[in-house]
């Protein structure tokens, strides 16, 4: 994400296509012609670092705890060699515990929580680690097909040294029965790559008498790359 040099190719089927027939809205927004590779310029490769505050606890707003199961999510952001990516900005957004986003366009008939905005921002440390506290999101209907429901998930946006270096993905939860029915999750054909989208329960991240912990590592390129919504890694 931050390296302008050529990167290792991903395994075929390990990245979702830009136009996935079962995921209806992709057909309307996917490009109709072959993409043109634009050369990486000095601006994209060496833009200033972000100077923004972190917001690592989504479970509390104005001193009031959000409703739902509190969880901790942590992991490392790595390149294809397993080296940590330092200072990467990781943005998070998600539905609340009832399966509703704090957004005017979300008209799902589920309660809003005044103490949960569903938005956060953290930065990776020198070892590539990030960590945040949040509420486990709920499933919600999304009208892609008959009786369609999204599995519980958290959206991730990763930035390198500038806004031109951005990747977007989602973290799912283990054991969710909706995964086998979800066209977005299944758009990644390779089963091993899909498994990298599922956060793993981690007792070391779990905090006693506070919250369960899940580990979600993100690899940016190469054979072990996390699937990204841009259709590449």
Residues 6+ apart with CB under 8 A from 161: 2, 44, 45, 46, 47, 48, 49
SS3 content of the chain, % helix, strand, coil (to 5): 10, 25, 65
Residues 102 and 117: beta-carbon distance below 8 Å: yes
Query: HSE of 181 in the Cβ direction (CA atoms, 13 Å)?
Result: 16
Point out which residues pair with 65 in neighbouring strands. 60
Active-site residue numbers?
101, 140, 150, 153, 155
> CA triplet 139, 134, 75: central angle to 5 degrees?
100
| Structure tokens given for 112 | 């809003």
DSSP H or E stretch at residue 167: strand 166-172
| Concatenated DSSP letters of 116-148 | ---EEEEE--TTSEEEEEEEPPPPEE--SSTT-
């Amino acid at each position: 994400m931050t390296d302008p040099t050529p990167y290792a190719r991903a395994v075929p089927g390990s990245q979702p296509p830009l136009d996935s027939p079962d995921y209806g809205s992709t057909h309307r927004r996917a490009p109709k012609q072959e993409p043109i590779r634009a050369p990486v310029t000095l601006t994209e490769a060496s833009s200033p670092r972000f100077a923004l505050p972190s917001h690592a606890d989504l479970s509390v707003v104005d001193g009031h705890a959000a409703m739902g199961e509190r969880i901790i999510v942590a992991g490392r952001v790595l390149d294809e060699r397993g080296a940590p990516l330092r200072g990467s900005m990781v943005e998070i957004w998600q539905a609340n515990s009832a399966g509703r986003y704090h957004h005017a366009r979300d008209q799902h008939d589920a309660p809003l929580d005044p103490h949960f905005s569903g938005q956060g921002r953290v930065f990776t440390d020198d070892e590539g680690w990030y960590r945040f506290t949040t509420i486990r999101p709920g499933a919600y209907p999304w009208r892609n097909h008959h009786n369609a429901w999204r599995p519980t998930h958290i959206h991730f946006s990763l930035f390198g040294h500038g806004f031109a270096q951005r990747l977007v993905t989602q973290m799912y939860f283990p054991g969710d029965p909706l995964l086998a029915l979800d066209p977005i999750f299944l758009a990644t054909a390779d089963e091993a790559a899909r498994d990298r989208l599922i956060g793993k329960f981690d007792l070391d991240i779990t905090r006693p008498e506070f919250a369960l912990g899940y580990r979600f590592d993100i690899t940016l390129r190469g054979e072990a790359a996390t699937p990204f919504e841009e259709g590449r890694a």
